[in-house]
Structures are given as C-alpha cells and as structure tokens.
Amino acid sequence: MKYLVTGGAGYVGSVVAQHLLEAGHEVTVLDNLSTGFRAGVPAGAAFVEGDIRDAAKWLDPSYDGVLHFAAFSQVGESVVKPEKYWENNVGGTMALLAAMREAGVNRLVFSSTAATYGEPEEVPIPESAPTRPTNPYGASKLAVDHMITSEAHAHGLAAVSLRYFNVAGAYGPYGERHDPESHLIPLVLQVAQGRREAISVYGDDYPTPDGTCVRDYIHVADLADAHLLALGAARSGEHLICNLGNGNGFSVREVVETAREVTGHPIPEVTAPRRAGDPAVLVASAQTARATLGWNPSRADLAGIIADAWEFARDTQREH
C-alpha cells in the first residue's frame, strides 16, 4: 500500500513512517519543517518539503491513505497565539481533506490528543467522556475531530482518530526533541546529561498520592503499532475515535525517581509553582483500541520507556 504521512519528519510521524516501511508499505513524507525540528525522514521514504495546505499538489489516486501528524502542539504557545493553531491545525486539515476528496483518497488516520478532554470527571478516561479542552491546542484538535466525523458521514471517508496520552521513548534514531523543550522526560534526561542543573517539579500540592501530577506514559513504538492497526480497521462512512495509553498513572516524582535508576545520575529536583492548565491526573482507558483495533501495547514498563529515551538522548548529544 502507498501512504502519505504529513508531519513525518517529526517525533511521532517519523516513528510511524518507519513502521510503515518495515511493514512493506510505500511512504511519502510531507513536512514543511516549520517546527524547526527534523527528527529524521526514514531512509526509504520519499520526502516532499511542503505545506499541508498545498497537499493537492502531491496527492493523487495512487495513494491508499493519509496519516496526518502535521500540527503545532505546544499548549502554552497556543494560549498566547491561538490564531496560529486555528490557521495551521484546523485550516491546514480542511485543505488536506479537500485534497483527499479531490484525489479520491479515502482513508485517514489522524493524530488527536488527550488534550481534547480537558480536566477529566472520571479516570481512566473513556472516549465517551465530555470534551472540554482547556487550551486552544486541544480545541483545535477537537475541531478537526468534528470535521473528520462530518467528512466521514457526508463523503464516505474511512477515518480513525487516535487520542494520545503522554508519548515517550524512542525508536532507534527517531526520538523526542523539541526546541524549546517543555516535556518532562526529555528535560529530566537533560539534567542527567549535565545540560541542566535540576528538574523543576511543577506543583506538589495536587490531590494525588505524592502531590505531583499523574500521567499515562506510552511508548512511541506501541503508539506506532496502533496506527498500522487503525489503517486496517477504518471503514468507509465511519469515524472511530480511540484513546492510546497504558492505563497506568505515574507521578512526576515517580518519573524522576525512575530516571535516576535508569541513568545512575542523582537528578536534583526543585519544587516550582503549578503550571497553568495542567490537570492533576490524566490516565487513559484504551479499551476501545484493544477491542476494536486489536491493539496490545507491549512496552508499558516506565523504566524501559525512559531507557529508550536515554539511549536516544545520549546518541543525539554525541552528534552535536
């Protein structure tokens, strides 16, 4: 099969593109490199440097489907520059859907997010939970989910949205690196590398066992497996939405402690004020993905996830 992967030079996109290639598919990566970061386009994938708004230039009926990752994804930035998120994430996807319709490409897997739920009423969070995003990033992803639902109903698109919880770890040379970095595990590992003095723990007075926020960390390779299964499960006229997480919550302190064990570094921590917009606990119910996609994540061990991220962080540092 032949697939277009938008945002395929980024963290999750590159890992999924690599999995598609390993499964014997033909892959074209479309990425405008606008996040200033190129995790790497896997060897064996064709690469087009371009914008999703111009997808009509490259999409043609020879494609069997699109995996859509291209988006801005910094929660804090979305609060101060919401127009950037509506323009790119929503406007860009509207253009992509039009290009797919035009080319008769009828299969879509979309990179959605736990941020569509906002502060949860129940944990673990099922897909039936209310969607009340607390920032424009989550709102923009939710708007795209609605757009895809109507596209499926009106035009027969076969679509799956995958709502990621906290993606982490690495797959060979494809790992997580943002500029500026704001995610917990890469920052903790920067401390272990001596690139930062300490990790700031954002809030220790949450209603959780140790007072720090609890998240559901999922290995990027398990996440990639779900995308390949979603391509097979998509049915014309239907929009399936699946959470992707392990269903296990780990606190910020537990993540830092596990990183100490993995790296052998003391990783000093300082308690800092809460970060705006952080829910206390975000843990997925991924029953739909298990039952409907047949997804069975096999890399749920937090130490293993951090060990893979650590190997990637050290390899990346050697390159610079």
Ligand X SMILES: O=c1ccn([C@@H]2O[C@H](COP(=O)(O)OP(=O)(O)O[C@H]3O[C@H](CO)[C@@H](O)[C@H](O)[C@H]3O)[C@@H](O)[C@H]2O)c(=O)[nH]1
Q: Which residues are tagged catalytic?
A: 137
Applying the rule CB under 6 A, the residues between 140 and 179 that interact with ligand X are 166
CB of 114 to ligand X, least distance (A): 6
Quick check: 20 and 27 in contact, CB under 8 A? yes
Strand stretches in 220-276, DSSP E: 239-244, 250-251, 269-272
- 196 touches ligand X (CB under 6 A): no
Cα 308 to chain centroid distance, Å, stands at 17
The Cα–Cα gap between 63 and 125 comes to 34
**Which window, 43-51, 60-68, 107-115, 258-266, contacts ligand X (CB under 6 A)?**
107-115
Nearest distance from C-beta of residue 295 to ligand X, angstroms: 19
The token duo for 312 is: 């990637």
Residue whose CB is less far from ligand X, 182 or 296: 182
| Residue in this structure with the two tokens 């923009």, named with its chain if needed | 140
Which one, 107 or 227, has the nearer CB to ligand X?
A: 227
Among 34, 62, 128, 182, binds ligand X (CB under 6 A): 182
Q: Is 86 in the site for ligand X (CB under 6 A)?
A: no
- Distances, alpha carbon 110 to alpha carbons 20, 136, 183, 203, in Å: 15, 18, 22, 32
Number of chain positions touching ligand X (CB under 6 A): 20
In whole angstroms, give the CA distance from residue 287 to residue 223. Answer: 14
Contact between 201 and ligand X by CB under 6 A: the answer reads yes
Query: How many Å is the maximal CA-CA distance in the chain?
Result: 56
In angstroms, the CA 52 to CA 96 distance is 6
Q: Per CB under 6 A, does 75 bind ligand X?
A: yes
Site for ligand X contains 226 (CB under 6 A):
no
Answer for which of 278, 292, 300, 316 binds ligand X (CB under 6 A) is 278
Residues at the site binding ligand X, with contacts judged by CB under 6 A = 73, 75, 113-115, 137, 166, 182-184, 187, 199-202, 213, 215, 252, 275, 278
